[in-house]
A and B are shown apart, each in its own frame.
Chain A
Amino acid sequence: MNCEEILTLLDAYFDNELDLAKTIAIEEHLRTCASCRSQYELRVALRSRLDDPDLRYAAPNDFADQIRKRLALSSRPSRKILSFPVVAWIPAAVAAAAVFGAFVYANIGRLIPTETTSLVAEVASDHIRSLIGTHLIDVESSDQHTVKPWFAGKVDFSPPVRDFADQGFKLVGGRLDYVKGNNVAVLVYRFKSHYVSLFICRERTPEAAPEQKSFDYQGYNLVYWNANGLDCWAVSDAAPGALHEFVKIQREEHS
């Protein structure tokens, strides 16, 4: 082989992609040809410089979890959540909620913009998933001084955390969730036999930050409000009255 042929195959040789005969031929050539050898050495030098972990971009810490979450959302559209294992425990209640929820869902769809509808669905679905899965809380504590610092560095704002056990809403912990592409702080409260998830995130759409708003979604009650540049969503299967009481306490505390 002449130099031109050698150079054509040099990268394949360097990458161990050649058969034995060609490999031997190239090795023989490189022993005697300084010019081709320098091309080979160039590749060796490049490879050794590229073999550096710093040149690889590491994925953000929580990224695998975000992907899992997206996959779960995509494979479990909100309507199907109703027929998830929960039904095995309390079929009648869920079936009733399904009928009621479908009715309400069909109606709110007509009353409010699609963007909000899908946000309602996502927040409610997150809450429902947290109950049927294992991811109800990341940090388990009724101590606000434990829960609040836990969020530092996980969200880019400081969520207001207070325990309201004496008013019936006991803080049980917090978790990190992901709604509409944003990290969201979720505080979890217990009210009698119900859980209340309080989603807090940075204000997304200032122009759409209206008065307090209530929604129903598949038998769950949701209340949205905006305070101090934060969007808040309270979600629960507790009665609307109880949820509104919860929201009232929260708003009084932080206004």
Chain B
Amino acid sequence: MVLLSDYSTSSGYAVDEEKISRGSAVMESEMKGDKINIAVDANQYGMNDQGRRIHFENQMLPLMPEAYNLARWIMKNEPDARDVVQDAYLKAFRYFESFHGDSGRAWLLRIVRNVCYDALRARDSQRNIVSLDEETAAEVPDSKPSPNVLAIQNSTKLRIREALEALPLEFKTVIILREFDGLSYKEISDIAGVPVGTVMSRLSRARRQLAALLQEEGENV
């Protein structure tokens, strides 16, 4: 109550009006740590916050299609994908100050990927996590019978989709980041939190497995 009453003092609002009219210049001076009137502290924070949010939205919202696509592939349904992308954006906004790199796309997708994996862990308890394990994923048989190019070229969209869906999670993730988003090994390594060499071997195995899946399906028809 006492604090709130302080807001109504005329001096507080005088400063406030001035602040609003001065716009962004005020935000800069705030960042430099200039004198801050405690009575309008929350107000200054509000303005600052709005500017910060707009800046964040301008930088990160254009990347939403990639973020959503990745989440949708990993989560396998729309409601979960929506939830994780929203959570990822909130998280990204909270930690926006920690983003100094050049690839906003990789930075955001790393958060999306992590939120997805956390959500999967919560959703499926340990079940799916087993397939996250590098060793389990490594047991994927090498492409036998040797896949042929025709089987791949003749695959329908549906089969491609199913094959991609059937890949172990880590494989699916690298394929999406590389083939759909065109990210470099370095960026994928940042997102997945593994060395570049691991990105390379995952992509290699993922492609061989995709080819093998399409080959099998081609034979079964």
Contact = CB atoms under 8 A, between A and B. Distances in A.
A40 to B, nearest CB: 10
B140 interface: no
A70 B203 contact: no
A71 B93 contact: yes
B86 to A, nearest CB: 5
Interface stretch (A22-30, A96-104, A111-119, A220-228): A96-104
Nearest to B160: A49
Given A12-B200, A45-B153, A74-B93, A50 B175 contact: yes
Interface string A70-109: 1110111001101111011001100110110011000000
B43 A87 contact: yes
A75 B53 contact: yes
A71 B86 CA distance: 9
A92 B157 contact: no
A19 interface: no
A75 B49 contact: yes
Contacts of A49: 152-153, 155, 160
Given A67-B89, A95-B8, A88 B16 contact: yes
B149 A45 contact: yes
A92 B8 contact: yes
Interface residues of A, number: 54
A87 B45 contact: no
Given A51-B179, A80-B46, A102-B4, A75 B147 contact: no
A43 B4 contact: no
A46 B155 CA distance: 10
Nearest to A49: B160
A42 B207 contact: yes
Interface string B73-106: 1000010011001100110011000000000000
Most central of B53, B57, B204 by chain A CB within 10 Å: B204
Given A91-B13, A99-B1, A42 B64 contact: no
Contacts of A79: 42
A11 B200 contact: yes
A111 B7 CA distance: 27
A73 B1 CA distance: 24
A54 B46 CA distance: 42
A57 B211 contact: no
B203 A15 contact: yes
A52 interface: yes
B46 A83 contact: yes
A99 B4 contact: yes
B152 A57 contact: no
A254 interface: no
A64 B61 contact: yes
B86 A55 contact: no
A130 interface: no
Nearest to B156: A49
5 nearest interchain CB pairs?
A95-B8, A57-B72, A59-B68, A45-B152, A11-B204
8 contacts: A11-B203, A17-B184, A38-B146, A55-B164, A57-B73, A71-B53, A87-B43, A96-B8
